[in-house]
Structure 1
Amino acid sequence: MGGGRAAGGRAGVRGARRPELRLPPLEPWPDAELRPDGDYDGLEFRDADLTGQDGVGARFMDCALTGCAVDGTGLGRARVLDSVLTGLRGVGTHLAESTFRDVELVDARLGGTQLHGAVLERVVVRGGKIDFLNLREARLKDVVFESCVLVEPDFAGARLERVEFVDCALREADFGGATLKDVDLRGAAPLEIVRGLDRLSGAVVSTGQLLDLAPALAAELGIRVE
């Protein structure tokens, strides 16, 4: 969904390329439990309870996961390709060092999701709410956060290139040690950054956002405002 073309692109910022997703006819997932290093191709996981299951290293290709519970699900080093994930819910999902390419994540309700060291490319996160998202040391390229709420997301040490926040609440974000290039924060409301203001040289903000960030910027630079 989306045309694989650059969106945005205002003020010299290169817009993110969105995924092009055309899922084939899908077969119902026939099993009740994930397998480590499992290979899942052209399957629909609907209302599956994946709580606590071990799918480390699994590969999902042309899949739809809809309404699934992922509390504590182990999916480290998983590869999720050309897939749509809708209505996922859960706390503590383990996705460290995983790869998401050409993926839509829609209306998720997640908390404490571990994506440190992950690679996200041509990914749209639309709707829903994600608390305490751990993206430390991750690589994000052509990623759009749209109409969603992110509470205390951790981008510390991450690399973000062509990342857009569109009608998105970004609360108490940590960009410490991050590297940003063509990152458009203008659609974030509110825009709250608790760490890493000195790392925003590759981002664009609106005039209003700059005024809101001014006290924190002044404190970061050691400027007294009286």
Structure 2
Amino acid sequence: MVRKAAGRAGGRGQGARRPEVRLPPLEPHDGSELEPDGDYDGLEFREADFAGQDGAGATFMDCALTGCALDETRLRHARLLDSVLTGIRGVGTDLAESTLRDVELVDARLGGVQLHGAVLERVLIRGGKIDYLNLRKARLKDVVFEGCVLVEPDFGAARLERVEFVDCVLKGADLTAATLTDVDLRHAAELDIARGVDRLAGAVISPSQLLDLAPVFAAALGVRVDGGPAE
């Protein structure tokens, strides 16, 4: 596997380094169930159904997962390294306290995925839709969300460093107690922050986004906006 990390100009601050994963020739997975602490190296998982299986603590290195079902799959403490996940789907996937490094997640359809306490470094999440993404207390460094839809993502108490949102939709984001450093929100297609707008220090937004967020900022500061009596 040969991989480079590419940077993108971020205006202010330092832009996120994107993964460029180049997989070696892969062997097809034999179809067996996932195993706790399993070691998967250089494998292709295609249209596999891992619903309800237990792969806690497993390591996936130089792997491709395409069209796999991950409903209620237990992958707590798993390690995904130098891998590409395309078209995966599932509800309630448990990736809590896992590590994703040099990973591309493309066109995922996920709901209620648990990534609290996880570490994401050089990760690209492109396309697809993720509902109720739980990233509480996670650490994100060099992560790009591109062209995806995030419904009520929870970044509570998370640490975001060099994170970019490009052409993606954020609906009802929770930034409570989050710490942001060099986070670029200017190119988000839609930016809706439900809680934690006071944690935006360390982020850059566009002038139009500032206007859109003005009512949220005012509410957070306890400011009442009143146009006065009608003429």
TM-score w.r.t. length of structure 1:
0.98
User: 1:150: which partner in 2?
Assistant: 150
CA distance in 1, matches of 2:41, 2:139: 25
Matches within 5 A, 1:151-170: 151-170=151-170
SS of structure 2 residue aligned to 1:25: coil
User: 2:229: which partner in 1?
Assistant: none
Deviations, residues 82-134 of structure 1 (Å, cap 9, x unaligned): 00000000000000000000000000000000000000000000000000000
Matches within 5 A, 1:204-219: 204-219=204-219
User: 1:36: which partner in 2?
Assistant: 36
Q: Which moved more, 1:129-138 or 1:180-189?
A: 180-189
Deviations, residues 130-170 of structure 1 (Å, cap 9, x unaligned): 00000000000000000000000000000000000000000
Task: Verify: 1:53 aligned to 2:25, yes or no.
Answer: no
Task: Verify: 1:202 aligned to 2:202, yes or no.
Answer: yes
Task: Verify: 1:6 aligned to 2:43, yes or no.
Answer: no
Aligned structure 1 segments of 4 or more residues deviating by more than 2 angstroms: none
CA distance in 2, matches of 1:124, 1:2: 14
AA aligned opposite 2:185: L
SS of structure 2 residue aligned to 1:214: helix
Q: Displacement of 1:2 after TM fit? A: 8.9
The structure that has the greater radius of gyration is 2
User: 1:20: which partner in 2?
Assistant: 20
Q: Displacement of 1:55 after TM fit? A: 0.1
CA distance in 2, matches of 1:71, 1:95: 12
Identity in percent: 73
AA aligned opposite 1:4: A
CA RMSD of aligned residues (A): 1.1
Q: Displacement of 1:30 after TM fit? A: 1.0
TM-score w.r.t. length of structure 2:
0.95
CA distance in 2, matches of 1:84, 1:63: 7
Deviations, residues 26-74 of structure 1 (Å, cap 9, x unaligned): 0000132000000000000000000000000000000000000000000
Task: Verify: 1:118 aligned to 2:80, yes or no.
Answer: no
User: 1:193: which partner in 2?
Assistant: 193
User: 1:67: which partner in 2?
Assistant: 67
CA distance in 2, matches of 1:89, 1:6: 29
> Where does structure 1 lack aligned partners over 5 or more consecutive residues?
none
User: 1:94: which partner in 2?
Assistant: 94
Q: Which moved more, 1:122-131 or 1:30-39?
A: 30-39
CA distance in 1, matches of 2:107, 2:78: 21
Aligned length: 225
CA distance in 2, matches of 1:214, 1:77: 40
AA aligned opposite 1:102: D
